[in-house]
Amino acid sequence: MKRLVIIEDQTAIREMLADILRLDASYQIVGEAGDGQAAVQLCLELNPDICVLDAKLPGLNGVDILRRVAKKLPQMRVLIFSGHENPVLIREMLEAGAHGFVEKTAGLFELKKGLEIVANGGTYFGPAVAALLRNVVANPASSNTHDFLTAREREILQLVAESHSTREIAAKLGISVKTVDNHRSNLMGKLNLHDVASLTRYALEIGLIEPKKAT
């Protein structure tokens, strides 16, 4: 039986996945989390066999979660289950340590199929993701990424785009306000973007945050 954690910020989806997978004797659900910081702590504490991970999470996105835990938990298998797929995101997830990527529009059959293959040492991509990867192979320029930002700058960019203040960011990351200001100035200079609105649009474009839903 594989020990499994589910990382998903939408409570209804997370609970649905847990209920469905509990019916499968191949898996034991040992933990769930709904935000990035909690996800890192959960994985490091529980050392699961497999992780179902959403790509977009508040506080810390899926790529940065994997960058923090993959080297410490090399045996953990990771299946991305996300409603957001683009060549840059897929490439970054794979480089960070993911073993498969299934889009949420693919349905539960594809998820369970991908989970079984990934859990047993293989790799799996849902149909939409596979089509994107084929396009990347045919058009390599479309997969250009944004590696010139450091991991810390990416974290701060995401938190700025999520409307956190400088003091809130410092508290979340355990660093000083001055250090946050320095990183923020550096990323603004690299991107040639000098206000929160522009940084937020950029974070949306590269998939660091989700568009806000209309209320």
pLDDT tens, 129-144?
888 777 766 565 544 5
What does the CA dihedral 168, 145, 55, 150 come to, rounded to 10 degrees?
Answer: -30
Residue 120's contacts (CB-CB under 8 Å, 6 or more residues apart) are none
Inter-residue contact 52 to 16 (CB < 8 Å): no
Two domains, one topology: 2-141 and 151-205: no
Record the tokens describing residue 109, joined without a space. 């059959």
Assign domain 151-205 to its CATH architecture: Orthogonal Bundle (1.10)
Q: Is 188 buried (19+), middle (13-18) or exposed (0-12) by CB count in 10 A?
A: middle
Model confidence pTM above 0.75: no
Rounded to whole angstroms, how far apart are CA atoms 104 and 92? 18
Assign domain 2-141 to a CATH class: alpha beta
Q: Where are the domains of the chain?
A: 2-141, 151-205
Higher pLDDT, 105 or 7: 7
Rounded to whole angstroms, how far apart are CA atoms 94 and 66? 9
pLDDT digits (tens, 9 = 90+) for 187-213: 888 888 888 888 888 888 777 787 765
